[in-house]
Amino acid sequence: LGWRNEYTDQEVLEYLNIALKFFTDKVEYRSYQCEHYPRDRDKCQLAAHNSASVSNITRLIEQVKKEIAFDTSIRTRRTAINFK
């Protein structure tokens, strides 16, 4: 996870949450189209594709949060050792 060269942890989480909202909305819209306009079958495929993106972004958010927590715990331990 090499985002820290260009972005802060908070910026990455904000960006990923915006992407999650965007793709979640696309899934809802495409699903609506799929259900109400059945002759346009490509909308069903797009809904499934966007759903996979939602799943991937959700996993990435959790991975980033774990990385941030891990790094925070290491920094906390280093600080505690330096004060001893």
Q: What is the pLDDT along the chain (84 residues), one digit of tens a residue?
A: 577 888 999 999 999 999 999 999 999 999 999 999 888 889 999 999 999 999 999 999 999 999 988 887 776 666 656 655
**60 near 19, Cβ under 8 Å?**
no
Amino acid at 23: F
pTM of structure: 0.79
Rounded Cα–Cα distance for residues 84 and 23 (Å): 48
Residue 16 CB partners (closer than 8 Å, separation 6+): 57, 60, 61, 64
